[in-house]
Amino acid sequence: MIQPKLVDWMQKARLKGNWNSNPVITDKGEIVEPRMLGEGLRPSAVTRDLKWGVEVPKIGNEEEDKAMEGKVIYVWFDAPIGYPSITATYTDKWREWWHNPDNVELYQFMGKDSEFDVGQKWMVLMVDVYFHTVLFPAMLIGDGRPWTMLHNISSTRKLHIPRTITADN
């Protein structure tokens, strides 16, 4: 199970990195992210029904391929993987950064979390902080190799954007 390892890492990282409260965990160590409470860490969808994005690749199974038609890979699933992969594209010495947890401190700055007006309801998207404090670290922990993990995260909590969301945007 990844969740106990993730929670243990998160509690140690927030103390070592002196994290401020954010939408996932408070500075006192209280986990406030609903996807980690009660039932435990739940699966996150990695596809979306959008007109833009990276199409889900076909796997050669007619039924599965048909079910995935029109779906794209959700950017926040593959974006964190891009951090080490773009570094590896840039330099053969990428492991000196990404596989060096004893000597490298990773700081991440989140510009905002977004709040959108959806008709009469407000939809708060706290994707930046969630994906950088939960999903990405869980992926690295699940991999089992010694990755450089998040040391400190700085976020502005959320930004209020009065804009109506439709299926086309």
For the segment 119-143, the average pLDDT, to the nearest whole number, is: 70
Q: Is pLDDT at 156 greater than 50 in this prediction?
A: yes
* CB proximity list for 31: less than 8 A, separation 6 or greater: 7, 10, 24, 25, 37
Stretch (H or E) spanning 164 = strand 159-164
Give which of 87, 94, 106 is closest to 148, Cα–Cα. 106
Order of strands across the sheet that contains 54-55: 47-48, 72-73, 54-55
Q: Is pLDDT at 150 greater than 60 in this prediction?
A: yes
pTM: 0.71
Q: What local confidence, expressed as pLDDT, does residue 169 receive?
A: 46
Residues in the chain: 169
Q: Is pLDDT at 122 greater than 60 in this prediction?
A: no
Q: Is pLDDT at 120 greater than 70 in this prediction?
A: no
% of the chain at pLDDT higher than 70: 76
| Residue pLDDT, tens place only, 36-75 | 666 677 777 788 888 887 888 999 999 999 999 999 887 7
pLDDT band, very low/low/confident/very high, at 127 (cuts 50, 70, 90): low
Other C-beta atoms closer than 10 Å to the C-beta of 148 total 20
d(CA 44, CA 16): 28
